[in-house]
Amino acid sequence: MKLIKGFFILLFLITSLNAEKIREIANIIGVRENQIIGYGLVVGLNGTGDGSSSAFTIQSMSNLLQTVGVKIDPKDIKSKNVAAVMVTATLPPFARQGDRLDVTISSIGDAKSLEGGTLLMTALKGVDGNIYALSQGAVTIGGKNGKGGGTKNHTTAGAIFNGAIVEKEIAYDIYNRNFASLSLKTSNFSTAMSVQERLNKHFDSKVAVAIDPRTIRLMKPSGESMVEFLAKVLEVDVEYQKEEKIVINEKTGTIVSGINIEVDPVVITHGDITIKITPRNNLNDLNQQNSVDMKDGVSIGIEENILNMQEGKITVANIARALHKLGAKPKDIISIIENIKRAGAIRAKLEVI
């Protein structure tokens, strides 16, 4: 598939009846990641830090110096080698003291760059106000001038790999529990029933019951620990129907579509583009001499702007490819697909982000 000047990408995702392990389509309720955040200072910058207008940076420097026995009036601090930052990280489930986490560093002042800086010890807290990790280390911002994943325009954010150490654990008492619950990643009555039936058949006992289209209640069999039971549950294969979906990002001009999402016959007029979508076997007025053949049996009538399919069906992927061939811009292609959905010619779910 071609890229249209970096603005338009069409990916093909096969949508059909799938067999997946339960761990791929569901999570265990209560076993989850937690976000932690902290405020800190990055030092050692080469004059690219916050200016004197960032009062919170100057005050933070003054407070920090006082903790090491240096008392100084914030008004006397003129350094541009320091930047105030927010530090964020994700605390995984069952993280233990001493485990290391990756952290993201983001400037909140008017610093020009965090390149070459070092984050001073920063406490990372959860929503409950408790400190769960401490972070410190050299900030990495990637390469320069677009090489190595970074650019000059994005040097006010960086990362420290393994830059935080877990200090406080979140307790999960799974071993002593008799019940647990699965949460499907996508709400679906049919999938919930498939999981229930498959688990009950696999364990030859009524260990699962679907209580809504997303939640399956589990009861561990006697003679097994909950850890052993859940390990087996997550490895069970379940057949389910993936939801057909088209995802459109209007800001970037990105469209992600299932390859088999069909479009019903419809006539489209958008600006100076007029397209008639119809099966080839029902088409009588297409001038084959004035058409351009494309992949998958699709052809475009240049004069009539008629789009048809040899096999009697056409998909979103075919439309996008054909519109590109006609010279349509990414924003026009997105607008056309959105309006085809509004007209009811596309039955898949459309999500605009």
pLDDT at 266: 77
Q: Model confidence at 128, in pLDDT bands (50, 70, 90)?
A: very high
Q: How far apart are CA 195 and CA 140, in angstroms?
A: 44
Is 123 a residue whose pLDDT tops 50? yes
Is 330 a residue whose pLDDT tops 90? no
Higher pLDDT pick, 33 / 143? 33
Q: Provide the CB-side half-sphere exposure for 126 (13 A, CA).
A: 15
What DSSP string describes 27-67?
Answer: EETT---EEEEEEEEEE--SS-S--TT-HHHHHHHHHHHHH
The pLDDT tens digits of the residues spanning 5-59 come to 333 333 333 344 567 899 999 999 988 899 999 999 999 998 888 877 778 787 8
Higher pLDDT pick, 208 / 75? 208
Is 153 a residue whose pLDDT tops 70? no
For 160-163, which contacts have Cβ atoms below 8 Å and span 24 or more sequence positions?
160/102, 160/103, 160/105, 160/119, 160/135, 161/102, 162/100, 162/101, 162/102, 163/100, 163/101, 163/102, 163/103, 163/119, 163/135, 163/136, 163/137
Is 290 a residue whose pLDDT tops 70? no
Q: How far apart are CA 21 and CA 8, in angstroms?
A: 33
pLDDT at 154: 64
pLDDT at 278: 65
Q: How far apart are CA 42 and CA 107, in angstroms?
A: 9
pLDDT at 339: 83
Instruction: Tell me where in the chain the CATH 3.90.1150 domain(s) lie.
Output: 19-30+173-241
Q: How far apart are CA 245 and CA 171, in angstroms?
A: 38
Q: Span 259-286, mean pLDDT?
A: 68
Mean pLDDT of the chain: 79
The pair of three-digit structure tokens given for residue 279, joined into one six-digit string: 């099966």
Range with lowest mean pLDDT among 17-21, 68-72, 276-280, 334-338 = 276-280
Q: Model confidence at 3, in pLDDT bands (50, 70, 90)?
A: very low
Q: Class assignment of domain 19-30+173-241? A: alpha beta
Partners of residue 274 on adjacent β-strands: 269
Q: Span 132-156, mean pLDDT?
A: 70
Q: Span 163-188, mean pLDDT?
A: 91
Q: How far apart are CA 7 and CA 4, in angstroms?
A: 6
Is 353 a residue whose pLDDT tops 90? no
Partners of residue 219 on adjacent β-strands: 179
Is 287 a residue whose pLDDT tops 50? no
pLDDT at 12: 36
Is 288 a residue whose pLDDT tops 60? no
Kindly report the length of the chain.
353
Share of the chain above pLDDT 90, in %: 40
The backbone torsions φ and ψ at residue 310, rounded to the nearest 5 degrees and listed phi first, read: -60, -40
pLDDT at 103: 97
Q: Which of 39-53, 249-263, 288-302 has the highest mean pLDDT?
A: 39-53
pLDDT at 101: 96
Q: Span 211-228, mean pLDDT?
A: 93
Q: Cβ–Cβ contacts within 10 Å for residue 95, how many?
A: 19
Q: Which of 319, 245, 338 is nearest to 277 (CA)?
A: 319
pLDDT at 306: 53
Q: Which residues of 232-260 are buried (b: 16+ CB within 10 A; e: fewer)?
A: bbeebebebebebbbbbeeeebbbebbbb
Tell me the Ramachandran region of residue 344: left when phi exceeds 0, alpha when psi lies from -120 to 50, beta otherwise: left
Q: Model confidence at 280, in pLDDT bands (50, 70, 90)?
A: low
